[in-house]
Every structure is written in C-alpha cells, then in structure tokens.
Structure 1
Amino acid sequence: MNETAPLRARAEIDLAALRANVRTLRAHAPGAALMAVVKSEAYGHGAVPCARAALEAGATWLGCATPEEALALRAAGLPGRVMCWLWVPGGPWREAVEAGIDVGISGLWALREAVRGAREAGRPARVQLKADTGLGRNGCQPADWAELVGEALRAEREGLVRVTGLWSHFACADEPGHPSIEAQLARFREMVAYAEQRGVRPEVRHIANSPATLTLPGSHFDLVRTGIAMYGISPSPEIGTPADLGLRPVMTLSASLALVKHVPGGHGVSYGHHYVTPGDTTLGLIPVGYADGIPRHASGTGPVLVGGKLRTAAGRIAMDQFVVDLGGDEPPAGAEAVLFGPGDRGEPTAEDWARATGTIAYEIVTRIGTRVPRVHVDTSDTGDGTGNSG
C-alpha cells in the first residue's frame, strides 16, 4: 500500500511510537518481563506488525484473548511465548498445544480439555491457572482453587501438562487507591502461596495490567501485561494523560473530505435534522460512519480537525458518512480531516472522542472497522514502508 496515496480513510499506526511506549513501560517494571497484549487486532492497530514491534522493543511475551488470535501470531512466524485465555468448550486445544501456546485455565472443564489436547498432540500442554481474586469474570474462585491445583498437579505428574503460570486480573487498578486493589493483591498472594506449597513451580506469576504496571510496583511479580498503554493511551484520566506517563498515541485516524458545498441558513443536516444551519455556511462531508466504527452517539459532539480548525459532527452520524459545519471555510475536496491522533497538530485525541461519547478511549480505537486500512509506518521488519492492512 502506498502510504501517501489519497484514501477515503486511513488509520496510520506509528510503530516507532509503539516501540518507545514499550521501552517506557519496561522501565516502570524493570524487574519483570513484559507481555505485549495484542488481542482484538492489537486494540485495533494491527496484531502482527504491532507484535513484531513490541518484541523488537524488548517484550518477551505476547498476549491474546482467543486461541484463534494466538494461532494467527504463530502462523505469522512470531517467536517467543504466546498466551491466550478466553476459551470455550470444543476449542482448538490440540492446535494450541502443538504451537506451544500457553493457555489460561479457569476451571476443571478447561484443564480437562487441555489434557485431551495434550494427549492428541503427544506433548504436554502449557497451562496457566487463573485465580479469580475479585474481578468476578474468568478465573477460579478461591473455594475451588484447591481442586483445580490438585488436578493440574496430577496431570503434570503424568506428563500431560506443565503449569507455567499463576495469574489474575485487577478490577479497579485504573482507580488509584480503590480498596479492592490491596484486597486482590492479598488474595492473589494467598492463592499463589497455596499452589506453590502444593508443588506448583510456575515460570511466571502475574496480575499487573497497564494501570498496575504504571502505578503499583508491588503488583509486578514476574511479568506485567501491558495493553492499552502500549498503544499510547492512558488507562484512565485519573492516572494521567499519555504525556504525563511518557507515552505517545500510536494511531492517527483521518479521512479525505468527499464534498464541500455552500448551503443557506435553515438547512437541515443529516437524518432527523437534529442540526439546522444557523446561517449561510459551508458543509464538509467526511466519508466514514458507524460502519467504520465512528460512534453514532458522537452525533453533535464528535470533534474533527479540518483546515487547522476544530469542527464538530453536525447532525446524525450515518452508516458511511457524517457532516461538519465549516463555517464558510472552503477547503478543497480531498483535504484531510483528522478525527484523532497524538494531538501534536491540535487534532483531537481518542480520549477527546471518549469524553464526547461517554465511553473510554479503549473502545474508540478498538471499534475502528476493517474498511479503514491500517497503514503501518516505520516498519523495521519490512524496511519498505508499505505497511499492512488489518
């Protein structure tokens, strides 16, 4: 892909910024290894290029939600440790075992399917036992932990599994001082101690996500799992802005104006005429919409930089397009409209869109759809700057 070619829309992914973010995060947890979480196409940024860049910057683990995501990384030739944790019965257990993928185990049914996959593959499954220390999602409840640990150890003695990790996940690490944080840490230490007293010898123990990596050094253990912060987005405003944290946003989402036209005052704009022009003006048509991941509930609030000025989505955001009132300015068709980026040029950020829509910046970047090409710049793995689409 020609990265300078005019496109309807593009999400430019700055891999140099991603590498710098990984180095910054490693400095926050110098005694721990770093897992680069690249689930959901690297939070919308493109899993394979971002995984490669993270490994180049010193990450030694890659993390995914689904086994299909993990197997795709292996199929792309990515080395090192890969972990996935969101399984359902009947999943590709044998394939994951054959690919040397670490699988998260939250209950007996999953352990038994991993054992079956190991038998089929003719090699031990690498399993990581997840403790539910208070999040209440995946993970084994403390009351069931002894049974899960015991069965895992029996399978290990039979050569069917290798218990490579003990882990958990915070509920409120993005809220500094929340009482659940210390409660979860204490419970995690207890559950780890129980498993180790019974004979588990994990390669890694881990609970720290991005906010814990940045603010809770006592949670780092052997490995930190960094997701959103790796992409230059703060886990929450309470923790600080990306600049406060030494991070740089990696994605810049832009589109080419499809039309600029003069309209009189009193002209309705888009479905429902929720916006009516207050006087003679110019309207700019931005050719992305909710089918591309632009939130429909950003209608009337979503910020865009056009012609060096901040504009706001005028009227309803439609499936493929929305309108901004240019206030009489006349940029040419094809001019750049920047929906969000690092903010260097005065453009909005993903956090600005999150505030405008009552959500979190995680959702803004991950929802950008596949019709928007990802253009990866500064790709050291190819050297040709052509980028990749995801």
Structure 2
Amino acid sequence: MNDDLGLFTDPEARQDERSRRRSNAAAAAARRAQRRRKRTILWVVVALVLVGGGAGAYYGYRSLSGIGSYEDYAGAGETDVVVEVKDGDIVSAIAATLKAQDVVASQRAFTEAGADDARVTAIQPGFYLMKTRMSGEAAVARMVDESSKITPLEVKGGYVLHDLTALDGSTTKGILSMLADASCVELDGAKKCVPVDQLRDAAENADPVALGIPEWALAAVRKAPKENRLEGLVLPGLYHLDPGADAIGLLKSVITTSLNRLQGYGIPGGSDKTGFRPYEVLVLASLVEKEGVTSDFGKVSRVIYNRLEAGQLLELDSTVNYKLDRPHITTSPEDRARSGPYNTYSAGTKGLPPTPIGSPGEKAVQAAINPEEGPWRYFVKCQTDGTSCFNETFEEHDADVYDARSRGVF
C-alpha cells in the first residue's frame, strides 16, 4: 500500500525522518559555508601575492631603470679623488661607485647625463682621477676623457726587477723603478708616490704570503737570494695600480694579477707533464724568453731540456749577465769565471738557476711546457734578425759560431 501522506507510518518513525532531514540540511549548509570561507581566503592570498609581487617588480624596475631620487650637484667638483672601475663594471655599477665616493649626488645624475654618449658604455677598467661633488654632466665628461685615467704600468717580456746599466753608462729602469713611477698621483696639487727604496725593501723583506706568493712558489721564494726572490713573478702586460696603496699593497696587486695570467698560460696546472715543479717551469720559461726570438722558443726550450737530461751545464750567457745587472747578450771569459748560483758555466751550478732571470711572456711559458721535439743541445744566434742555428754536436755548433762571427752577426 502506498503511504505517501504518512497516514499509516508510526509517529516516532516520522519524527526520526524529520530529524534526519534537518541534520542533513544543516550539514550541507555547513559545507557550503566552509567552501565560501576557503574561496574568500584564497582570493585574499592571491590579492596579497599580486600586491607583493607588484611592489617587488616596481622596486626592481626602479633599481634597473634608475627611477628614484634625482639629485645633482652643480659645477666641476671640489677635491680630487681616485675612483676604480673594475673589470666587468656596467654603467650602473660605475654610477654606484661614483655615488658612494660622493663624486655625484645620485646614480641617475650620471646615468642620465651619459645616456646619449656611446663613450660611457666603453669606459675601461682602471683608476680614474675624479673630483667630489661633480655634476652628472661634468662627471661623464671627465670619465670619458683619457687624460683622467691613471696610466697603468706596462711590463714587457724579459723585463727584470732591478735597473740595468749598459757599457756606456746609460740606465734602463727595472720593474721596481717603473712601479714607483706608476704609483705617482697628484691630488689637490700634492704629488704622492711610493719611493723605489720602499718597494725594494718590501720585495726583499716582506712576508711572501703577504705579497701574494702562491703555495707552489713559496718554498723557492723563501730560499732564493732576497734581492732576486720576486723575479719572474710579474709577467708582461698592463697593471692598473691603486695610487693609494703602500709598497706591499702595490706588489701584491701586480703579483696577484700576474699569477692569474700565469694560471691561464699553464702554470701550475700544465707543469705535471714536464717532469719539473711549477716554479722550475717558470725559471725555464725565463731562460727561453731571454735566449731566443719568439720563433725559436720551442727549440731553445728543447735544448735546455736536453742539456738538463744529459747532466750538461746550461752555459747560458743570459744567466751570467742577469746577476751583473747588464742587458748584454754575450759574456767575457772574466764574466764566465765568476762564481755564483747564476753562473751556469760554473761546474758548481749544474741545473737551473735559483730564480727566473726575467719576466717570461705567454709564448715562452708555453714553450717551456711544450718544447719542440728534437736532438739539439747547442744553439747560437746566426742571423741578424736574431734567429738561431741549432745543432746536435759541438763541432757543428762551433762551425756555426765561426760563420756567424765572420758575417758580423755578433
């Protein structure tokens, strides 16, 4: 029988059914309310993220575009100040440095003044003589003016630490004297330099670690004659010097830069295959630099390898003249009779000299690591362009020496 009206249903059952329906309705309402709360919280979170992200993007945009405070000084500036542009600095980084040293009032003063000047993006690393409290326009003009850049030290292949004196009495400045000259700067009318005697004292007596000497060279440097211990550790190239540095700071700066170059040339990394320690490869490279023209470097290196392997004296005039502080190529019998660790003609000095005898360039270093293959044990300059003749026997070598002399080569 159909009882849709509930006429024949027990009253208590009807009451239970109504209670169940009310309970289900309440539960459904609660679920709907919970879903509404979750949606509300989600939208609040989304809004906060959007607001926070927008603020971060805005401040990032300000940082990149230079938006922000724009202050600018007037005029050409007040007191002298040295500013460094580091390798890899972009215009905004240069502007930040200028602002930090009070050259300009704000970064924007510089970036906006140089926005239409292509030279600003071509500013090179180095030290620049600027002034405090300059207008952005004045700062741009001075930064792109080559005369404001402090002239770097330039070292060439074969340069030595100490001054050289020729037979006519003329003097060629060594690296220490050149470094002293390059350290000079005039600030507000007062010239400031690091004297060469301070540089020499630091080179000879300062703690090698404080000078930046690496572990692979430390023992040899400490053992070397003190006046020669830094020889060969300043490679050819340009060195940007901080005029405010003291003697130790200047030496450490050039040695650190030099060692970075040397690592790229293969020392110490490429020394393993040579049979020599890294410092010995550096010494060998300095001999190659002094003894031959670039085209002969590989063969000169092989001669040195072959002589050392045979237990033969190196007999190189360059080592004798190095200790005599002379720029000559040849030596006299009296010179070769002198004793000392750099006289490679002396029976008591078999092997390499205790230090390099000059600054070896990249090609000399590479020749020292990778000598040409060959049996040569002798060589002599036999052409007026400096090219050498290479021989396996002394008799062949002696004939080439006679021929070169007869032609006036030396």
TM category, shorter:
under 0.3
Q: Rg: which structure is higher?
A: 2
**Higher helix share goes to which structure?**
2
Q: TM-score, normalised by structure 1?
A: 0.21
